């Protein structure tokens, strides 16, 4: 079995296992009750269907530690259109790339990607899994280094750059009786009164970048340390994160949701032997920032809105250039709730 297929299969088994696990009453932490009905309306017994568009990105940057100048690379970002369904705490989104929508390969190059980011939101927990493999990037800010660069033409393309990201995070919602993450991102609940909650939980991530040559282009060689080459370097980080989320409700149906979560823990960097330097392993404590924002309209039968989320890493180094990494996505959607067909989606017995 191919490595990526194996990872996908394992993730699928984890998702199915958690779903089956949640059906048994003795696992109370997966239950949707209790909630404070003055703050949250529960629609988990209804079937929600939505149409959405999503743009995902996966950026890297070589950063000069003295001047903060950077060479930023991004994949060719494409708009995917998809369909999502939700029932109980379970949600599934499937998005597809339509050729007629994304036809700018001549300008930004072609990106091959495997991007699997399932999320599981229960009453008390928010779990995110991240599995990505990207090949093909372009230089996002060539005008900073290439004199006379014309943005209407082709950008410098690096079809040889490959990145690998694997990670997972788990957040416990302390005030889960009044604050609903699911109201803002899964839409099987509705926040009817403003509330917030502290969030805390662990995280883990792995990152690696490969390329045929350095990220430093010839026009920028005077601006960066040529001895810093991040090809083949691996970054393993884990730690504990904490933050706060708040749902602001206007008129019981319009809402704005924002959460900021800061993480702190060790990062292990493994550098291969390259450019005459020996392989090396170093570790240090680094930070991690995860953000979520959502704006929308949430009524009993109809909902629409937009949301965005991002995770940013790459701790600033005061002594040498460093590699900045980030992953984010933006989504807009419109959906409707229905009474579930009893034949296929019977209500769970009490």
Give pLDDT tens digits for 203-212.
999 999 999 9
Of residues 183, 171, 182, 177, the one with CA closest to residue 33 = 177
Which CA distances in Å does 115 have to 55, 94, 159, 299?
A: 11, 11, 18, 31
Q: How confident is the model at residue 143 (pLDDT cuts 50, 70, 90)?
A: very high
User: Percent of the chain, pLDDT > 70?
Assistant: 85
Residue appearing with tokens 């929308």 = 296
The greatest distance separating any two alpha carbons of the chain, rounded to the nearest whole angstrom, comes to 69
Whole-number Å distance between alpha carbons of 138 and 73: 5
Query: Would you state the pLDDT for residue 23?
Result: 39
Higher-confidence position of 159 and 19: 159
Of residues 290, 308, 336, the one with CA closest to residue 187 = 336
Range with the poorest average pLDDT among 23-32, 218-227, 304-313: 23-32
Query: Would you state the pLDDT for residue 274?
Result: 77
Encoding tokens for residue 275?
């450019």
- The yes-or-no verdict on residue 139 having pLDDT over 50 is yes
Environment class of 37 (CB within 10 Å of its CB; exposed 0-12, middle 13-18, buried 19+): exposed
- DSSP conformational letter for 25: T
Q: What is the DSSP string of 77-101?
A: --EEEEEEEEETTEEEEEEEE-TTT
Higher-confidence position of 97 and 100: 97
Contact (Cβ atoms closer than 8 angstroms) between residue 175 and residue 35:
no
**Domain assignments of the chain as residue spans, ordered by start:** 3-338
pTM: 0.81
Query: Would you state the pLDDT for residue 90?
Result: 67
- The stretch 154-178 carries a mean pLDDT of 94
For 234-252, the pLDDT digits (tens) are 999 999 999 999 999 998 8
- The stretch 195-204 carries a mean pLDDT of 96
Query: Would you state the pLDDT for residue 98?
Result: 66
Query: Would you state the pLDDT for residue 315?
Result: 67
Q: How confident is the model at residue 19 (pLDDT cuts 50, 70, 90)?
A: very low
Which CA distances in Å does 90 have to 144, 145, 171, 187, 232?
A: 46, 48, 17, 11, 37
- DSSP conformational letter for 237: E
User: Percent of the chain, pLDDT > 90?
Assistant: 47
Query: Would you state the pLDDT for residue 346?
Result: 52
Query: Would you state the pLDDT for residue 7?
Result: 41
What's the mean pLDDT when you consider all of the chain? 84
For 265-278, the pLDDT digits (tens) are 999 998 887 776 77
How many CB atoms within 10 Å of residue 312? 15
- The stretch 246-269 carries a mean pLDDT of 94
Query: Would you state the pLDDT for residue 106?
Result: 87
Query: Would you state the pLDDT for residue 92?
Result: 73
Higher-confidence position of 87 and 47: 47
Which CA distances in Å does 262 have to 14, 127, 130, 245, 324?
A: 26, 16, 18, 12, 16
Q: Please tell me the CATH code under which domain 3-338 is placed.
A: 2.40.128
Q: Which of 3-12, 90-99, 136-145, 308-317 has the highest mean pLDDT?
A: 136-145
């Amino acid at each position: 079995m191919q490595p990526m297929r194996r990872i996908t299969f394992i993730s699928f088994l984890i998702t199915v296992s958690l779903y089956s696990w949640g059906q048994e009453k003795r696992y109370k932490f997966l239950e949707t009750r209790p909630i404070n009905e003055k703050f949250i309306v529960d629609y988990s017994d209804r079937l929600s269907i939505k149409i959405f568009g999503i743009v995902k990105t996966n950026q890297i940057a070589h950063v000069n530690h003295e001047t903060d100048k950077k060479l930023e690379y991004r994949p060719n970002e494409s708009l995917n259109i998809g369909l999502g369904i939700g029932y109980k705490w379970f949600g599934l989104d499937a998005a597809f790339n339509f050729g007629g929508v994304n036809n700018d390969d001549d300008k930004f190059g072609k990106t091959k990607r495997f991007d699997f980011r399932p999320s599981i939101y229960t009453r008390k927990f928010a779990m995110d899994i991240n599995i990505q493999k990207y090949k093909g990037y372009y230089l996002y800010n060539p005008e900073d280094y290439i004199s006379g660069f014309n943005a209407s033409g082709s950008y410098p393309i690096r079809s040889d750059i490959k990145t690998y990201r694997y990670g997972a995070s788990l957040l416990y919602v302390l005030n889960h009786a009044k604050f609903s993450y699911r109201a803002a991102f899964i839409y099987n609940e509705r926040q009817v009164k403003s509330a917030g909650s502290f969030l805390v939980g662990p995280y883990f991530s792995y990152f690696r970048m490969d390329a045929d040559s350095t990220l430093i282009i010839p026009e920028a060689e005077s601006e960066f340390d040529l001895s810093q080459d991040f090809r083949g370097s691996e970054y393993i980080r884990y730690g504990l994160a904490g933050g706060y989320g708040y749902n602001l409700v206007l008129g019981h149906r319009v809402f704005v949701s924002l959460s900021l979560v800061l993480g702190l823990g060790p990062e292990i960097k493994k550098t291969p032997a390259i450019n005459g330097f020996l392989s090396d392993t170093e570790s240090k404590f680094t930070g991690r920032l995860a953000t979520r924002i959502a704006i929308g309209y949430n009524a009993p039968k109809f909902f629409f809105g937009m949301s965005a989320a991002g995770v940013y890493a790459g701790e600033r180094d005061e002594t040498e250039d460093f590699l900045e990494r980030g992953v984010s996505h933006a989504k807009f959607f419109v959906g409707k709730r229905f009474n579930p067909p009893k034949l296929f989606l019977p209500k769970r017995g009490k």
